[in-house]
């Protein structure tokens, strides 16, 4: 008889795929008790979500197979129960919330109905379910709760949707809540709010919380204990303090070393000349002002980071500079010429000097083109850059420059990992020897260790080739490591700009201060202080 409320013992799960048997988790054991928060930390492919899917009976068998192990909950081994007995536990005693609340909420039913369904699915009467839904929506802090119940998921913001998801999971006061990357897709300030809400609710109900995450900051902020996973195995367990300050396993140490925001901050070169000067750039969509007049300079061979939360207008700014959309007003002087007034022919010439790298390389690389074709396509369009007989050699050169190999040229995007794909996207941008590369959240989708490598690559390209970067990001630690100067945006306005050290160590605007205070530090000690500062700011 186990001593813990929920205990996973020696669990191994396999998946039978076309490529053979994949061991998703191998001999994994962990436990969690009432009132406790356990974090499962790992990068993509580490198997960190698999054991909780097994707890919730969400693994499709086949192709999945629970090969061995036990899952003890409240004195019973879940794996010996019938389907119906397990269904009756889901939502009632063990509940789960997910990463992307928009796709995890049913788009065609009202949120009130969906929250109430948790209650009715376990045989409670409808009126009771509706009352409980209202109470919960009010508790998780959705404005105007009565009206909110009648709305659909797409009518809420990302943070509100995650709050609604939490309300839905907690409807029957479960003993355990499993949260699978609950804040990954959210803005930093919203992330802090959602984590605080989870802690409050945990204190109220005494539930055990299993927090699955890739983010050391989330661990430092919320966890009592941590399980570090790599390649389907647990490599280390301990308190956040032990893990951060006295990691034993090399993988944990590597993960901590890769966490951004620890390096020296850069000092911008004061003598550099601006290559891009934007003055009062504006963009309106009907009555909505996406950009309300942005003015800034971007110097040659420097990194200008544009930070801000979703909807702040940072991507709009990039699209206007590239003329992917027409500005409603203002000017953007590129080496003295206004980009916004150029004819299509002139713009065509300038395009090779300004290149772009997007967030998701899986979508921005054509899956039916080989790496060679993807990179050399730029020379098909801009014919005077390189003669055709040199293409092959130059592709190899570029691949080596971004840390790939010559033999990769004949392969297709799906044969690469996410980090390698982003390197291909960078090689493609480099093919035209640009003066400026605009990176729109270019490292946001990558694992921490890969992120650090890609940032290092970009830094090297900046220093060796003298390329300037406009680096759009919501992740402040990455910006801290990479930027020369920072531009902080909020609701279409630039609220503050300055050298990176000034912004991070002496932020003058209230919004910048809140943004920095909301960021999570991987060091539990630093994070505790930051949390106190944050609570003071919000109080």
Partner 1 sequence: MQRMIGKRAISSLISLFGLIVLVFFLSRLTGDPSALFLPVDASEEMRQNFRELHGLNDPVLVQFGHYLGDLVRGDFGDSLRKARPALDVVLEAFVWTLQLAVITMTLVTVAAIVVGSVAAFKVGTKFDRVASLLSLIGASAPDFWIAIVAIVLFSVNLGWVPTSGTGSVWHWILPIAVLFIRPFGLILQVVRGSMLTALGSPYVKTARAKGVKNRPIIFVHTLRNAMLPVITVIGDQAAALLNGAVVVETIFGFPGVGKLMIDSILQRDFNVILAAIMVTALAIFLMNLLIDLAYALLDPRIRT
Binding site for partner 1 (CB under 8 A): 56-58, 87-92, 95-96, 98, 100, 103-109, 117-118, 121-122, 152, 154-155, 165, 168-169
**Between residues 88 and 465, which has the closer beta carbon with respect to partner 1?**
88
Could you tell me the smallest distance in angstroms from the CB atom of residue 382 to partner 1?
A: 40
DSSP state of 90: B
* Identity of the residue, 4 or 87, whose beta carbon is nearer to partner 1 in the bound complex: 87
Would strands 329-334 and 274-285 be described as parallel, antiparallel, or unpaired? Answer: antiparallel
Is the sign of the CA dihedral 163, 165, 170, 171 positive or negative? positive
Measured from the CB atom, the residue of 124 and 411 that comes closer to partner 1 is: 124
Q: How far is the CB of 368 from partner 1 (least distance, A)?
A: 22
Nearer to partner 1, 86 or 514 (CB): 86
Q: How far is the CB of 35 from partner 1 (least distance, A)?
A: 22
From the list 231, 186, 173, the residue with the least C-alpha distance to 24 is 231
Residue written as token pair 């297709």: 412
Q: Which is nearer to partner 1, 6 or 95 (CB)?
A: 95
Please say which residue, 107 or 344, places its beta carbon nearer to partner 1.
107
- CB closer to partner 1, 96 vs 216: 96
Q: Rounded to the nearest 5 degrees, what angle is found at the Cα of 257, between the Cα atoms of 252 and 263?
A: 165
Q: Kindly state the smallest distance separating residue 91's Cβ from partner 1, in Å.
A: 4
Residue holding tokens 């019973």?
76
Query: Comparing C-alpha atoms, which of 85, 78, 82, 134 is closest to residue 110?
Result: 134
Phi then psi dihedrals of residue 55, to 5 deg: -60, -40
Helix/strand/coil (H/E/C) assignment for every residue in 405-460: CHHHHHCCHHHCCHHHHHHHHHHHHHCCCCCEEEEECCCCCCCHHHHHHHHHHHHH
Rounded least distance, CB 115 to partner 1, Å: 10
Report which secondary-structure segment, H or E, holds 120. Answer: helix 111-120
Asked whether 193 and 159 are in contact (CB, 8 A), the reply is yes
Distance CA 412, CA 379 (A): 19
Distance CA(331)–CA(11), nearest Å, equals: 61
Q: Nearest-CA neighbor of 293 among 334, 342, 328, 335?
A: 328
State in angstroms the smallest separation of the CB of 408 from partner 1. 32
- Taking the complex as a whole, the smallest distance from the CB of residue 111 to partner 1 amounts, in Å, to 11
Nearest to partner 1 of 136, 476 (CB atom)? 136
Cα angle 319-374-427, degrees, rounded to a multiple of 5 = 70
Give the residue among 480, 481, 510 at the shortest CA–CA distance from 495.
Answer: 510
Q: Quick one: 10 or 106, whose CB is closer to partner 1?
A: 106
CB of 56 to partner 1, least distance (A): 5
Nearer to partner 1 by Cβ, of 57 and 420: the residue is 57
Q: Nearest approach, Cβ of 155 to partner 1 (angstroms)?
A: 8
Three-class SS state of 46: coil
Rounded to the nearest whole angstrom, what is the least distance from the CB of residue 527 to partner 1 in the complex?
30
* β-strands 6-17, 20-32 pairing: antiparallel
Minimum distance from CB of 210 to partner 1 (Å)?
Answer: 13
469 contacts 457 by C-beta, under 8 angstroms: no
Nearer to partner 1, 56 or 385 (CB): 56
CB 64, min distance to partner 1, A: 14
Do 312 and 394 form a contact (C-beta atoms < 8 A)? no
Tokens of 407: 């033999």
HSE, side-chain direction, 13 A CA sphere, residue 301: 13
Nearer residue to partner 1 within complex by CB, 97 or 455:
97
Between the CA of residue 278 and those of 303, 319, 327, 356, what are the distances in Å? 16, 13, 12, 18
For the chain, how are helix, strand and coil distributed in percent, rounded to 5? 40, 25, 30
């Amino acid at each position: 008889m186990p001593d813990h409320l929920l205990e996973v013992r020696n669990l191994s799960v396999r998946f039978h795929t076309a490529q053979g048997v994949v061991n998703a988790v191998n001999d994994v054991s962990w436990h969690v008790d009432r009132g406790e928060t356990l974090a499962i930390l790992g990068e993509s492919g580490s198997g960190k979500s698999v054991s909780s899917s097994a707890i919730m009976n969400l693994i499709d068998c086949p192709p999945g197979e629970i090969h061995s192990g036990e899952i003890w909950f409240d004195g019973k081994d879940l794996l010996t129960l019938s389907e119906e007995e397990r269904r009756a536990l889901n939502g009632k005693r063990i509940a789960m919330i997910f990463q992307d609340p928009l796709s995890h909420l049913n788009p065609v039913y009202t949120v009130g109905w969906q929250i109430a369904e948790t209650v009715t699915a376990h045989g409670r009467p409808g009126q009771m379910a509706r009352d409980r839904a209202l109470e919960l929506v009010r508790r998780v802090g959705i404005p105007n709760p009565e009206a909110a119940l009648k709305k659909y998921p797409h009518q809420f913001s990302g943070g509100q949707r995650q709050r609604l998801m939490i309300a839905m999971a907690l409807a029957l006061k479960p003993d355990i809540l499993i949260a699978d990357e609950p804040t990954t897709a959210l803005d930093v300030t919203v992330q802090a709010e959602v984590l605080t809400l989870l802690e409050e609710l945990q204190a109220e109900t005494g539930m055990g919380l299993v927090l699955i995450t890739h983010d050391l900051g989330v661990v430092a902020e919320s966890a009592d204990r941590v399980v570090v996973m790599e390649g389907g195995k647990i490599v280390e367990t301990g308190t956040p303090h032990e893990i951060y300050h006295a990691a034993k396993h090399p993988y944990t140490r590597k993960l901590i070393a890769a966490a951004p925001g620890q390096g020296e901050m850069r000092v911008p070169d004061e003598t550099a000349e601006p290559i891009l000067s934007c003055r009062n750039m504006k963009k309106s969509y009907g009555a909505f002002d996406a950009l309300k007049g942005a003015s800034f300079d971007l110097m040659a061979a420097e990194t200008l980071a544009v930070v801000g939360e979703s909807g702040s207008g940072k991507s709009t700014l990039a699209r206007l500079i590239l003329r992917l959309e027409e500005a409603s007003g203002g000017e953007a002087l590129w080496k003295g010429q206004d980009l916004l007034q150029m004819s299509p022919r002139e713009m065509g010439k300038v395009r090779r000097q300004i290149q772009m790298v997007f967030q998701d390389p899986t979508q921005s690389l054509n899956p039916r083109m080989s790496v060679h074709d993807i990179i050399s396509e730029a020379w098909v369009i801009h014919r005077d850059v390189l003669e055709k007989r040199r293409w092959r050699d130059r592709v190899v050169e570029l691949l080596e420059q971004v840390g790939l190999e010559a033999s990769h040229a004949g392969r297709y995007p799906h044969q690469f990992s996410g980090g390698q794909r982003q390197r291909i996207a960078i090689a493609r941008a480099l093919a035209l020897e640009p003066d400026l590369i605009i990176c729109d959240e270019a490292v946001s989708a990558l694992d921490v260790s890969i992120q650090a490598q890609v940032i290092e690559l970009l830094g090297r390209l900046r220093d060796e080739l003298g390329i300037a970067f406009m680096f759009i990001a919501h992740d402040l630690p990455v910006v801290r490591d990479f930027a020369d100067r920072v531009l902080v945006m909020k609701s279409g306005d630039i609220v503050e700009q300055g050298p990176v050290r000034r912004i991070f160590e002496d932020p003058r605007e209230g919004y910048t201060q809140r943004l920095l205070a909301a960021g999570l530090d991987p060091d539990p000690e630093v994070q505790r202080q930051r949390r106190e500062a944050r609570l003071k700011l919000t109080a």
